Structure 1
Amino acid sequence: MKSNIGGIDRILRIVVGIVLIALAATGVVGWWGWLGVVPLLTALVRFCPLYPLLGINTCQKKD
């Protein structure tokens, strides 16, 4: 599995994931807030399964 998530993308996914999980845990949003696990996990493994299907790669290319 080749990395396809770059630095800024990774940071944004971590922040969004943590915020959604925190909102769900405190009851501010409904159950769907627990979907924040998805961006958090994809950021931690540095791979998004949708990116290859869409032809997206936010990693900097190394020559």
Structure 2
Amino acid sequence: MNVGGLDRTLRVLVGGVLILATLLGWIGVWGWIGVVPLATGIFRYCPLYRLFGFNSCPLKQK
């Protein structure tokens, strides 16, 4: 886990809004990119965070 609480909440919200807007026809197919923040928020893991050594999760890794 490398995605913390506030970061996780924002990712899930933004991803869900983008997907919903796409399904409702408000925005084009590019809105499906919302799957990425939604998935990283749900799984609490972001590969780019790992690549750059960033961690927004306050829990200690063992």
Q: TM-score, normalised by structure 1?
A: 0.89
Query: Structure 1 CA distance, aligned partners of 2:57 and 2:28?
Result: 33
Question: Once the two structures are aligned, what percentage of the paired residues are identical?
Answer: 55
User: What do the CA deviations read for 1:15-53 (whole angstroms, capped 9, x no partner)?
Assistant: 000100011001111101011011111111110000011
Q: How many equivalent pairs are there?
A: 60
In the alignment, structure 1 segments of 5+ residues that lack a partner are: none
Residue 60 of structure 1, CA deviation: 0.5
Match of 2:20 in 1: 22
In the alignment, structure 2 segments of 5+ residues that lack a partner are: none
Match of 2:11 in 1: 13
Q: TM-score, normalised by structure 2?
A: 0.90
Two-structure CA RMSD over aligned residues (Å) = 0.9
